[in-house]
Chain A
Amino acid sequence: MSITMDNLKTKLGPAELKEGLTATKVKRFIGDYGIIILFVVILVFLAAAAPNFLTLNNIVNVVRQSSIIGLIALGMTFIMITAGIDLSVGSVVGLAGMTFALLAPASGGAFWLPLIAGLGVGLLVGFLSAAMVVWGAILPFLATLATMAIARTAALVITDGQVVSGLSGPAEWLGSGFIGPVPVPVIIFLVAAIICEFVLSRTKFGSHVYAVGGNEESAKKVGISTSRVLFTVYLIGGVTAALGGLVLTARLDGAAPVAGTGYELQVIAAVVIGGTSLFGGVGTIRGTVIGVLLLGVVMNGMNLMGVSSYFQQGVQGVILVLAVLLNRWKSD
């Protein structure tokens, strides 16, 4: 968790002590909890202003809609903490979803083959990106710009640009099924988020992800295999994006080769809102989950209130800038 007021004093360095404790405390508090406060304010506002916002149905709906971007954002968080970026995620959604749709009816209910094939496609694209970043020493932005184009081309070529529709029952379940009262996509997202949170905050690998993002040279000197860390994060990014693609395809009961276009920007925005730095070394999965839900709630609220879609993107932009400013005051 973020720090509390009590142990704040011990976290201050010499610079902060000079600056004055109260001002620093206030800043730190706003920096650490600003997004959560903003989230709560938005929730309260929408509960009052938007019709039907606070219904169980709508809440479930928001989380379900957010779960696809959310899944992709989990992997993106790992990558961005290493000071990387993955622009290919939207294309991976398209390609993995297409793979899944093509195999799902053919395998006549056998659900695992299309699932594994779809995830495998994500791994493959992640591997390509990582190979360029690690072995080719190509900037992540450029490397994944390339894999973005390649994966999209592949999705278009395999169906000649056609839409594939009609999935087998079990495949469809992935998108529209329920376990108890909870939609399957929500469960997938939550389970994946918990696993990612655990890996990033508790394991040796997670610690090395932060080290690579903080100072790659230092990480190398202390004997961390930075290439292994980088490969792993891009593979994770590929798998979570593919998982998002499978859920999307299952939800829509079909796949379009252009599915997922532009998702990368939404995902990056959500991750940044959640407190991850584009410069690497900083970020958490819990933050990302909040960022994803915040954006999801805002979009949903605006829809309910009948705000024109022209405005919606602008509002997202404002939130993004606000979040970036707040992050400057974070205690870390």
Chain B
Amino acid sequence: MTDAPPATAPLVALKDIHKTFGAVSALRGVSIDVMPGETFALLGDNAAGKSTLMKVLTGVYQPDRGSIELDGKRTEFPTPSASRDQGVEMVYQDFALADNLDVRTNIFLGREPQKNILGPLLRIIDRKKMESETKRVLERLDIPINPRLKVKRLSGGQRQAVAIGRALAFDARLIIMDEPTANLSVAKVDKLIEVTQRLKDLGIAVIIITHRLDEAFAVADRFAVMRQGQVVGRFRVGEVSEAQVAHLISHGTLDDYVDTGSGIPEERRKIGSTSSMETVDALAVRGTTNGSDL
């Protein structure tokens, strides 16, 4: 894959997002941006604010402060469907499937194509269209599944494919996956990496939320590390070692990191570190704007 040309605007940019729940500050001025077609990993410990940030992006929560830009234009996602209408799709950790329904019905659940019978007053579900679209989408993912199979008969990996297929069926430009491997066996994780690669080939941007560094390193172009409601580091894969990121996740800084021979040049590591809990625009990523102007 080639890098996104520097001139393009980010597909989405979250700017200086704040969100509090009662006494808990879940997000304290978070800025991230994702380029078109890019795979972006969001790392961080429990309660870092990753899911909350994604819920802001998918219209589940409204930020207390901050803004969202899509294609460089300011926008708002007052509801989940507003976000989906703009091509931002969420793949839930539990896949949000109904076991009792077949694959095609699950893919179109809540957004069933309809056709008129006896005029526009009487509308029925267009199952033919659902079936052909389902086939098309699963072929694009290179995971053929019989569209009429009940979801309860699918394996974990196939269920995930259906969940991702659901996003694809509606021309997603950005797919968010929250802990996508939590429900998968180790073997299936490889498949996920394949699917993510496939999405990238299709030009779809992906944000993947994870605890697992190996996963993030395997699939992502760039990643951000969150801790206690803030971004404490942004990197391009290859700029830092897994050990450094692990340190950053747990300490929020690389200042006290002791190199055990990871081979990352000294001066690079320095840029990625800071003495405070403030946002670090480590190695300011070429061609992307970030929250520093806010």
What is the interface of chain A, defined by CB distance below 8 A to chain B? 10-16, 202-204, 207-208, 210-211, 213-215, 217-219, 221-224, 281-282, 332
Contact among B81, B101, B153 for A214, CB-based, below 8 A: B101
Nearest A residue to B155 via CB reads A14
Which residues B136-162 have CB closer than 8 A to chain A? Answer: 146, 148-150, 153-155
- Digitize B101-115: 1 where CB-to-A-CB distance is under 8 Å, 0 elsewhere: 100010001111010
Known: A222-B109, A224-B109. A203 touches B124 (CB 8 A): yes
What is the interface of chain B, defined by CB distance below 8 A to chain A? 80-81, 84, 90, 92, 94-101, 105, 109-112, 114, 123-125, 146, 148-150, 153-155, 166
Nearest A residue to B117 via CB reads A202
Nearest B residue to A14 via CB reads B155
Contact among A207, A218, A223, A282 for B125, CB-based, below 8 A: A207
Nearest B residue to A222 via CB reads B110
A-B contact pairs, 6 of them (CB 8 A): A10-B148, A11-B146, A12-B153, A202-B124, A219-B109, A332-B100
> A221: which B residues are within 8 A, CB to CB?
90, 92, 96
Contact among A215, A217, A332 for B150, CB-based, below 8 A: A332
Contact A281 B99 (CB under 8 A): yes
**Shortest CB distance B119–A (Å):** 15
Bound Cα distance A238, B101 (Å): 27
Contact among B110, B111, B123, B153 for A15, CB-based, below 8 A: B153
**Shortest CB distance B218–A (Å):** 27
> B148: which A residues are within 8 A, CB to CB?
10-11
Contact B146 A218 (CB under 8 A): no
Contact A210 B153 (CB under 8 A): no
Contact among B111, B149, B155 for A223, CB-based, below 8 A: B111
Contact A202 B98 (CB under 8 A): no
Known: A10-B146, A221-B92. A281 touches B125 (CB 8 A): no
Nearest A residue to B95 via CB reads A218
Nearest B residue to A15 via CB reads B153
Bound Cα distance A211, B109 (Å): 8
**Shortest CB distance B121–A (Å):** 12
> A211: which B residues are within 8 A, CB to CB?
98, 101, 105, 109-110
> B123: which A residues are within 8 A, CB to CB?
203-204
Known: A204-B112, A204-B114, A211-B98. A13 touches B149 (CB 8 A): yes
Contact B114 A214 (CB under 8 A): no
> B105: which A residues are within 8 A, CB to CB?
207, 210-211
Contact A223 B153 (CB under 8 A): no
> A222: which B residues are within 8 A, CB to CB?
96, 109-111, 166
Bound Cα distance A14, B159 (Å): 14
> A218: which B residues are within 8 A, CB to CB?
94-98, 109
Bound Cα distance A15, B153 (Å): 8
Nearest B residue to A282 via CB reads B100
Most buried by A among B81, B101, B111, B154: B101
Known: A13-B153, A203-B125, A207-B105. A223 touches B100 (CB 8 A): no
Contact B100 A217 (CB under 8 A): no
Contact A223 B81 (CB under 8 A): yes
Bound Cα distance A175, B34 (Å): 68
**Shortest CB distance A5–B (Å):** 15
> B101: which A residues are within 8 A, CB to CB?
207, 210-211, 214
Contact among B92, B100, B124 for A213, CB-based, below 8 A: B100
Supply 5 further A-B pairs (C-beta < 8 A) apart from A11-B148, A222-B96, A223-B84.
Answer: A11-B150, A14-B155, A215-B98, A218-B97, A281-B98
Nearest A residue to B81 via CB reads A223
Bound Cα distance A255, B109 (Å): 45
Bound Cα distance A298, B110 (Å): 41
**Shortest CB distance A203–B (Å):** 6
> A219: which B residues are within 8 A, CB to CB?
98, 109-110
**Shortest CB distance B163–A (Å):** 10
**Shortest CB distance B39–A (Å):** 23
Bound Cα distance A323, B160 (Å): 35
Nearest A residue to B84 via CB reads A223
Bound Cα distance A210, B114 (Å): 17
Bound Cα distance A203, B125 (Å): 5
Contact among A13, A14, A223 for B80, CB-based, below 8 A: A223
**Shortest CB distance B294–A (Å):** 31
Bound Cα distance A223, B101 (Å): 16
**Shortest CB distance A226–B (Å):** 10
**Shortest CB distance B104–A (Å):** 11
Contact B150 A223 (CB under 8 A): no
The 7 closest A-B pairs by CB, nearest first: A13-B153, A281-B100, A214-B98, A214-B100, A222-B110, A221-B96, A218-B96
Bound Cα distance A224, B98 (Å): 12
> B92: which A residues are within 8 A, CB to CB?
221
Known: A13-B154, A204-B114, A204-B125. A214 touches B99 (CB 8 A): yes
Bound Cα distance A222, B149 (Å): 20
**Shortest CB distance A84–B (Å):** 15
Bound Cα distance A213, B98 (Å): 9
Nearest A residue to B153 via CB reads A13
Bound Cα distance A114, B92 (Å): 50
